[in-house]
Amino acid sequence: MSDEEKLSPVEIIKEASNYLRGTIGSELRADTTHFSKPDIQLLKFHGTYQQDDRETRVTSSEGGKSEKSFSFMVRCRIPAGIMTSDHLLAYLDLCDEIGNSTVKVTTRQAIQLHGIIKSDLKKCIRRINDVGQSTLSACGDVNRNVMACPAPYHDGIRPQVQKLAYDLAMHLAPKSKAYHELWLTDDETGEKTLAGGSDEFFEPIYGKVYLPRKFKTAIALPNDNCVDVYTNCLGYIAVIRNGELIGYNVTVGGGLGTTPAIKKTAPMLARRMAFCTPEQAVAVGEAVVKVQRDFGNRGDRKVGRLKYLVASRGIEWFRSKVEEYLGEKLADCTSDDVTEHNDHIGWDQQGDGKWFYGFNVENGRLYDNENRQWKKALRDICTILKPEIRLTAHQSILFCNIEEKDKQKLERLIKGYGLPLSEEISTVRRWSIACVALPTCSLAITESERVLPSVIDEMEVELQKLGLEKEKFTVRMTGCPNGCARPYNADIGLVGKAKGKYTLFLGGTRIGTRLAFVHKDLVPMEQIVPTLKPIFTAFRDLRQPEESFGDFCNRMGNTRLQAFA
């Protein structure tokens, strides 16, 4: 029997779950610190992961065994990263009251809360819904948070792109009543605390077992690929003529997660499939999901992502199936493609007389300590100025709808809590991102978020010496090969391989259209910058006019790069 004919254990769990219910309800009421293995899988669809803090485990007196320190990460679904000041204030309250006192802005324009204990999990999810947010389908084998450029430009294009992100997120969300039954129902009366939830006992798009693996969607603009569209299962690249949005070039089959020891896995960038009109966009998304639902590999989760289906069957076959499910033919892609990446950091005009400010948050972590008070600054900004909040795919925050007269007030609020203005941050730090990794991510092999700042400290010094401090290139670090911070198409990618050691990737691009290659494996963290120094030097001396660092590395090839060392 082939892998595709067998069912993986997770498929069996989903099949028996009664549309994502499992035994979550009874386990929520049980006096335990954690859930059973089947329910751990189902909880992801509801927006939460059970985690174990490896640094706070307790060694028991009986046999010296280490007892796991269980808690939960709760992730929110925020299409295009658009939220309000009240939403952010609610997350700050939750992190202080029942979390680990920090908030994480993710690489997919969402919010994560960490350190939630099991007895507070329902309270956390219910309070998120109380303020009009949701955690449904932020994780799990469904379409996850839909990304789009969050910039608040009144250009006639961005609002349409952002609306498509919302429409896709709502249309492709699970329809099971389980979410409302489990999280938004009063424990004593059984009554819903919030209206909502479908009356359907089936999933019209997903069916009984949902998708074979997670599914990610993003929408980009030709002059701004700030969402890294080619790294997604499904992508839309806006096609604009004479200032009008006439449709999208649709891409399929991107995804960066890999297992290096398993040769059949690999990071892949999406392929261009077809053009669709704005009116077709949601239906095309549904058709792509259904093709993955019916033909994706359910026997081996290592190759269950859409990228493996597209790679094995071919883009022509995949397009024909999408058209079959859609019920009409699609036009070929236009020549339009992504050409630039704007991180939207610093001051910019919206086009309606107001301003927005891109506030760089290093690695997306919001916290307060004796030196820097991110949360206190954000509380004051959201309370006094009440800006609209938008999250970027580079883990930063846009404060929107700022009046001209309030620009200096915003800057004073930032500086008053020991925080740097975005303009005071080095270029290399501004273009760096990192995943959570240790101590809570179960997949983490090495540190990421907690150590990248020190790597950047060292890199800043060398770049300054070489006169390269203004060069724009991406540096992305992950604690494991799953690649949540998108290291495989970055100019410089650092992927955890063994304790304290990383695989160093070079030759990707800031605009996200080319995969990087392995330059060197098992690089100790303290050797990362010394390994890069001779390559930076060669870049300074041998680059072509206007050539980026990633393009230089790609042109040179790894043999020549190694020779520079």
For 153-191, give the secondary structure using H, E and C. Answer: CCCCCHHHHHHHHHHHHHHCCCCCCHHHHHHCECCCCCC
What is the pLDDT at residue 134? Answer: 98
SS3 504: strand
Residue (of 403, 389, 396, 437) closest to 420 by Cα position: 396
76: pLDDT strictly greater than 90: yes
481: closest CA among 278, 311, 267? 267
pLDDT, one tens digit per residue, over 459-504 is: 999 999 999 999 999 999 999 999 999 999 999 999 999 999 999 9
pLDDT given for residue 506 in this prediction? 98
How many other β-carbons are positioned within 10 Å of the β-carbon of residue 558?
15
Average pLDDT over residues 92-97: 98
Query: Would you give the DSSP letter of residue 224?
Result: B
**CA distances in angstroms from 101 to 75, 112, 135, 383, listed in the order given:** 15, 12, 19, 19
DSSP state of 21: T
154-194: pLDDT as tens digits: 999 999 999 999 999 999 999 999 999 999 987 655 555 55
pLDDT at 61: 46
Spatial distance between the Cα atoms of 480 and 443, rounded to a whole number of angstroms? 6
> Are 305 and 267 spatial neighbours (Cβ–Cβ below 8 Å)?
no
List, for residues 2-34, the tens digit of each pLDDT value: 555 699 999 999 999 999 999 999 999 999 999
CB burial of 219-251 (b: ≥16 within 10 Å; e: otherwise) equals: bbbbebbbbbbbbbbbbbbbbbeeeebebbbbb
Q: Which residues pair with 255 in a beta bridge?
A: 268
- Cβ atoms of residues 80 and 150 within 8 Å: yes
Contacts (Cβ under 8 Å, ≥6 apart) of 476: 432, 433, 434, 485, 486, 487, 490, 492, 493, 494
In which order are the strands placed within the sheet that holds 346-349? 82-83, 388-391, 397-402, 355-359, 346-349
Residues 235-291 pLDDT 10s: 999 999 999 999 999 999 999 999 999 999 999 999 999 999 999 999 999 999 999
The pLDDT of residue 60 is 45
Give the model's pLDDT for residue 54: 81
Report pLDDT for 204. 95
State the amino acid at position 44 in one-letter form.
K
- The identity of residue 54, as a single letter, is R
Provide the total of helices (H) and of strands (E) in the chain, helices listed first.
16, 22
How far is residue 519's CA from residue 507's CA, in Å, rounded to a whole number? 9
pLDDT at 197: 47
Is the model's pLDDT at 201 over the cut of 80? no
**455, 421, 419, 449: which is closest to 345 by C-alpha?**
421
* pLDDT score recorded for residue 565: 83
pLDDT higher than 90, residue 151: yes
Under 8 Å CB-to-CB from 209, ≥6 apart: which residues? 11, 14, 15, 298
Q: Which residues are catalytic?
A: 75, 144, 214, 216, 435, 441, 480, 484
Pairwise CA distance, residues 226 & 223, whole Å = 9
Cα 169 from Cα 149, distance rounded (Å): 15
pLDDT band at 62 (very low <50, low <70, confident <90, very high): low
pLDDT at 53: 87
Residue 34 and residue 70 in contact, taking contact as beta carbons nearer than 8 Å: yes
SS3 265: coil
| The predicted structure's pLDDT at residue 66 | 61
Identify residue 556 by its one-letter amino acid code: M
Q: How far apart are CA 310 and CA 233, in angstroms?
A: 10
**Predicted pLDDT of residue 56:** 79
**Share of the chain residues as helix, strand and coil, in percent rounded to the nearest 5:** 35, 20, 45
Distances (CA, A) of 281 to 143, 329, 459: 15, 13, 43
Compute the distance between CA of residue 113 and CA of residue 116 in angstroms, rounded to an integer. 7
* Dihedral pair phi/psi, residue 175, rounded to 5°: -100, -5
| Contact criterion met (CB below 8 Å) for 141 and 74 | no
Q: Where are the alpha helices (DSSP H) in 45-148?
A: 85-97, 118-130
Is the torsion defined by CA of 90, 91, 94, 95 positive or negative? negative
For residue 112, is pLDDT > 90?
yes
Which domains are assigned to the chain? 152-174+210-341 (3.30.413.10), 346-426 (3.90.480.10), 429-564 (3.30.413.10)
How many C-beta atoms lie closer than 10 Å to residue 391's C-beta? 27
Which residue is it, tokens 């972590």? 365
- Average pLDDT rounded to a whole number, residues 70-92: 98
Q: At what angle do helices 158-171 and 281-295 cross, to 10 degrees?
A: 40
pLDDT band at 325 (very low <50, low <70, confident <90, very high): very high
Write down how long the chain is.
565
Res. 396: pLDDT tops 50: yes
Number of Cβ atoms within 10 Å of the Cβ of 86: 14
User: How far is residue 246's CA from residue 277's CA, in Å, rounded to a whole number?
Assistant: 6
What is the model's pLDDT at position 2?
52
Instruction: Quote the strand ranges of 253-319, DSSP E.
Output: 271-276
List, edge to edge, every strand of the sheet that includes 70-75: 48-52, 70-75, 111-116, 103-105, 365-366
